[in-house]
């Protein structure tokens, strides 16, 4: 299994942030890359496993599915993740400097969803440091 891509399909609660299996969303070696579907309940996300950790602890855990190999991961992306444009901060220092240069305060976006805010900043206000990509087919 060495050098084979692995991922976890995880059920989670957007209100609490709690992930099935007690998975830590801040684990630097479990990266989501925008693969989240919050239109379903429970919400779903796919996180790539970027180290050689033992995944057997998740076998049989309710709400966690182990995905082995690029084909299985891509299949889960196509099946569970909506195809849409996703905005993310690609370079935080550049993003913050651009906000400051343009005198934009994020306080003006209270009550809006993060994707709405990033889209507006990227598309309408020309803020640098934001990346736009398709949610799906990240693995080719």
Do residues 64 and 101 both lie within one domain? no
Do residues 59 and 120 both lie within one domain? no
In a domain, 75, yes or no: yes
Q: What is the pLDDT of residue 1?
A: 46
30 Cβ neighbours under 8 A, 6+ residues apart: 8, 23, 24, 47, 48, 49, 50
Q: Would you write out the chain's pLDDT as a tens digit for each of its 140 residues?
A: 457 899 999 999 999 999 999 999 999 999 988 789 988 999 999 999 999 999 999 999 999 999 999 999 989 998 998 877 878 898 989 999 999 999 999 999 999 888 899 999 999 999 999 988 776 655 55
Do residues 106 and 64 both lie within one domain? no
Q: Is the CB of residue 47 less than 8 Å from the CB of residue 8?
A: yes
Quote the number of domains for the chain.
2
Do residues 92 and 128 both lie within one domain? yes
User: Can you give the residue range of the structural domain that contains 116?
Assistant: 85-134
Do residues 105 and 69 both lie within one domain? no
User: For the chain, where are the alpha helices, taking DSSP H only?
Assistant: 70-80, 92-101, 114-123
């Amino acid at each position: 299994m060495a050098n084979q891509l692995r991922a976890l399909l995880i059920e989670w609660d957007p209100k609490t942030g709690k992930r099935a299996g007690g998975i830590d969303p801040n684990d630097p070696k479990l990266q989501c890359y925008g693969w989240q579907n919050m239109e379903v309940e429970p919400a779903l996300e796919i996180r790539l496993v970027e180290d050689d950790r033992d995944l057997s602890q998740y076998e049989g855990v309710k709400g966690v599915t182990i995905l082995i190999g690029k084909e299985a991961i891509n299949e889960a992306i196509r099946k569970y993740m909506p195809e849409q444009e996703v905005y993310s901060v690609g370079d935080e220092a550049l993003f913050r400097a651009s906000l400051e240069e343009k005198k934009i305060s994020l306080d003006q976006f209270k009550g809006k969803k993060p994707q709405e805010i990033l889209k507006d900043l990227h598309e309408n206000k020309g803020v640098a440091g934001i990346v736009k990509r398709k949610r799906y087919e990240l693995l080719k």
